[in-house]
């Protein structure tokens, strides 16, 4: 099994057909999507920007929906919810709703990672680490895939430390399971960087999140609770999958 970590969604290889792919944006898009689905949202539709989210919502006739997302970290004006995962914990508000969801990096990364119906995109974060790792391995068997690509959403074309950390921990899980099954693996350089980094910081997820640039920014904006939630490894068993239009729980 070949394992690679792509450090920014802009550097996705041109052709990765046949690979099983997961997108990670710990702060905060994928954490928020997992939280929304774990609390009963019927689906999340990742949108490129706020305008696309509004357009899709206008085209919705029968299903109850909410508009969610951020611009520069704050709720889009006129939207029901921001990109704070703690806002999606209230299942009385979230349950049964379609969420039209737009963020700066995460939703674009998810859309970009989708290349066709043979390549469903898994949504991963620290909060569903073990569940998504098992699902990825199962998908390689189901799809006869020989590569797992873990994608960091990144920021402004640069790397995102917290996503690298999360992907390193996912790799550790994958390798453990591959070893148990007697399946050999090959780490590409991006994966080697993620492994080294996560080994060094294992057991300190909250410290890692607090030390990153967005982690510092979120604390300044009053979102310290988001870091607490996002750092909770295996809080959920939910494995969201994007089919090109909507993200639903597997």
Residue 157 touching its own copies (CB under 8 A): yes
**Among residues 28, 56, 155, 235, which is the contact residue for its own copies, using CB under 8 A?**
155
Residue 101 CB, nearest approach to its own copies (Å): 24
Task: Find the shortest distance in angstroms from Cβ 191 to its own copies.
Answer: 10
Binding mask 115-154 for its own copies (x = CB under 8 A): ---------------------------------------x
Q: For residue 175, what are its two tokens? A: 């390798």
Per CB under 8 A, 11 contacts its own copies = yes
C-alpha 156/C-alpha 70 separation (Å) is 15
Distance from C-alpha of 23 to C-alpha of 205, rounded to nearest angstrom? 18
DSSP label at residue 120: -
Indicate whether 217 belongs to the interface with its own copies (CB under 8 A).
no
Q: Is the distance from CB of 242 to CB of 47 less than 8 angstroms?
A: no
Q: Which stretch binds its own copies (CB under 8 A): 130-138, 140-148, 191-199, 234-242?
A: 191-199
Verify binding: residue 40, its own copies, rule CB under 8 A: no
Name the DSSP class of 167. Answer: H
Closer CB to its own copies, residue 101 or residue 197?
Answer: 197
Sheet hosting strand 147-152, strand order edge to edge: 74-75, 65-71, 98-102, 43-47, 247-249, 240-242, 121-124, 19-24, 147-152, 2-6, 186-187
Q: Which is nearer to its own copies, 48 or 200 (CB)?
A: 200
Kindly state the tokens that stand for 215: 């982690």
Q: How far is CA 99 from CA 60, 142, 249, in A?
A: 11, 29, 13
Residues 6 or more apart from 38 whose CB is under 8 A from it? 236, 238, 249
* Residue 106 found at the interface with its own copies (CB under 8 A): no
**Which H helix or E strand runs over 166?**
helix 161-180
Taking CB under 8 A as the rule, does residue 64 contact its own copies?
no
Site mask, its own copies, residues 65-94, x = CB under 8 A? Answer: ------------------------------
Please choose, out of 47-55, 90-98, 111-119, 186-194, the segment that lies near its own copies by the rule CB under 8 A.
186-194
Q: Which residues bind its own copies (CB under 8 A)?
A: 4, 6-8, 10-11, 13, 154-161, 164, 188-190, 192-193, 196-197, 200-201, 211-213
């Amino acid at each position: 099994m070949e394992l690679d970590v792509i450090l920014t969604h802009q550097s996705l290889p041109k052709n990765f057909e046949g690979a099983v792919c997961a997108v990670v944006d710990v702060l905060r898009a994928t954490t928020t999507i997992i939280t929304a689905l774990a609390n009963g949202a019927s689906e999340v539709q990742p949108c490129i920007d706020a305008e696309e989210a509004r357009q899709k919502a206008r085209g919705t006739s029968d299903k109850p929906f909410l508009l969610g997302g951020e611009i520069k970290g704050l709720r889009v004006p006129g939207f029901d919810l921001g990109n704070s995962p703690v806002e999606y914990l209230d299942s009385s508000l979230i349950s049964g709703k379609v969420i039209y969801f737009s963020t700066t990096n995460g939703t674009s990364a998810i859309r970009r990672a989708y290349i066709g119906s043979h390549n469903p995109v898994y949504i991963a974060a620290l909060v569903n680490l073990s569940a998504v790792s098992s699902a990825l391995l199962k998908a390689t068997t189901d799809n006869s895939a020989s590569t797992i690509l873990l994608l960091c959403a990144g920021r402004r074309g640069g790397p995102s430390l917290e996503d690298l950390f999360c992907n390193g921990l996912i790799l550790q899980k994958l390798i453990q399971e591959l070893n148990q099954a007697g399946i050999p693996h090959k780490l590409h350089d991006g994966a080697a960087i993620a492994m080294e980094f996560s080994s060094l910081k294992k057991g300190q997820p909250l410290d890692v999140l607090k030390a990153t640039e967005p982690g510092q920014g979120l604390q300044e904006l009053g979102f310290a609770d988001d870091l607490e939630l996002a750092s909770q490894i295996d809080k959920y068993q939910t494995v969201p999958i994007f089919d090109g239009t909507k993200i639903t729980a597997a």
